[in-house]
Structure 1
């Protein structure tokens, strides 16, 4: 009998065994922690059947946060998988619900998301990069996506494509689909173990059974708040690790910290406030009405994470000024959070437009 109320602490030994020993390789040597993702699935921590959505969401926010305290790359890959799962869980397509969903939740199949373009399009700041043409039994997809993460053999990922100005569709397809060309991207300042690829579609056949929805306008509106909410614990985890490390450094050098304006507990209080807000959101049955507030909380965690990692670098001394130090790794990881859609620029513009509307 499956226990649907699994202890979140089942993640702890998985992180200890399959993330912590490999953090240096993940960060410096393009190591992909796929076994970690599969083990999370095998543990049962991604099962959703017969569970209220808010309970699933709370658990998954916590999974991402815990993982990010160790390694944001691993946490982001978990986010990619959960972003794909979020879309799959909402689909009413029988094949996807009955065949693909159990494989994704068990970790037998891993998921990526090509929805950055979709989020930009629905935010009014981009056009859809993929075109769909109806054919017998499905659609042909053409176009390209500049960056899709968590891809590899046996992985599936979600895409948005347009038929014309009025009609769009959301689908999911395997990374080895015929006509799909993947070109790996690395050389980033961090997060190089994410298996990120540019994807070129040359008449890739998307059968009807792989269609998540042919009404993506409402579908994206429903899942978008969850996708953004799941990004916040990426920052919560990294900021928490930086604050904890800063506290250790202060214990060793208490006299030096007396005159500093920023103290670890000050950052800790701000972190706790964002944590409370984030978990309050995760407990809501319907997030759509809170979309803008979730976006603003996402902006708050960007700024707090920036403060935490920079202060950790500033006050950890010479040990932080080593290429393989944890403070420097977290600093580089934090810049990814700033540029993950929705980016800090997009969020700052949203906040400014909301201020203007109030006035």
Structure 2
């Protein structure tokens, strides 16, 4: 359960967060004050303890109020997970306290890398070695949680001279890093989503998250995708709750479909948590890909059922703003990287082997 203060704030600001009229700098501090970012983080590292399944539920709880806020939460919590799995203890000690308190924004930046892992895309940042690190050039076209008053982004990097791709943490204060204006999205506008350009960015080995991207990416992919699934789970739960609220004598015909969707969602969530906690998805990513697809489809079906349950009211501005926002949110879930098309392409490739 979310902190009631955060729940009320998200409900009041949900529309503003979607259309961009709420200051995006407010989101992380609100999440941090409610301790959402500490769930699933070991107590020895400043967290509340628990596991990644608890973090998935936390993101789902946020998403049931605002997918824009949940998108930010996913980016922040994913970067925290990268630090927890990184062998760079000094960097973890340096960054983790400010990430957990919401003082520093963490951006995943690994969407391109996850596509690279599946052979869909080449890495977009390259490096030339220097005496104590590297010089970086390239571009990340879509990154969330690039807060204007302080962020650090994770990125996978290709060696210009060959060698193993690696993972870096890149702070916003470094010379040569350029943040674009916020991307003009159809929704989720208060999410600090922008592009990053790197031109002659110099960093030492102290910012290295992992020296081998091909080992690190499969290790973090279950959390990356699992936490992402929290967005679809929360959206589906909220729409199904709205359906239940609208059911009356004239719409009892929808009850059977409501119960079927609830059962499907509960089953998928159970499968997701079991796979995450058992570690199965590290060696066997295909079941996780199928769960991500199924959860996105369930969220879309839930929103469509909400439309039927609401009737004409959903199309009236005065009554349907919440539904209209959830409809836009449901359109985002299938395309956030890795998109459903990319996941289906990878599943087809694996089936052909």
TM-score, normalised to structure 1, is 0.89
Secondary structure at the aligned position of 1:159 is classed as strand
CA distance in 1, matches of 2:349, 2:121: 18
Q: Does 1:171 align with 2:168?
A: yes
Aligned to 1:13: 4
Alignment of 1:156-195 (within 5 A): 156-164=152-160, 165-195=162-192
Alpha-carbon displacement from aligned partner over 1:224-253 (angstroms, at most 9, x marks no partner): 1110111111111101111111111113xx
Secondary structure at the aligned position of 1:273 is classed as helix
Alpha-carbon displacement from aligned partner over 1:111-164 (angstroms, at most 9, x marks no partner): 111111100100100001001111132211101111111012211111111113
Aligned to 2:234: 237
Contact 1:14–1:39 (Cα < 8 Å) also in 2: no
Aligned to 2:302: 308
Secondary structure at the aligned position of 1:204 is classed as strand
Q: 1:222 aligns with which of 194, 219, 227?
A: 219
Aligned to 1:117: 112
* Structure-2 change in CA distance of 1:28 and 1:319 (3 Å): farther
Q: Offset at 1:300?
A: 0.5
Secondary structure at the aligned position of 1:200 is classed as strand
CA distance in 1, matches of 2:283, 2:48: 16
CA distance in 2, matches of 1:30, 1:240: 26
Aligned to 2:259: 265
Secondary structure at the aligned position of 2:178 is classed as strand
RMSD: 2.3
Secondary structure at the aligned position of 2:163 is classed as coil
Q: Does 1:143 align with 2:135?
A: no
Task: Name stretches of at least 5 consecutive residues in structure 1 with no aligned partner.
Answer: 1-8
Alignment of 1:1-359 (within 5 A): 9=1, 11-45=2-36, 46=38, 47-50=41-44, 55-152=50-147, 153-164=149-160, 165-251=162-248, 254-258=249-253, 263-285=257-279, 287-322=281-316, 325-356=321-352
Contact 2:141–2:195 (Cα < 8 Å) also in 1: yes
Secondary structure at the aligned position of 2:26 is classed as helix
Contact 2:240–2:262 (Cα < 8 Å) also in 1: yes
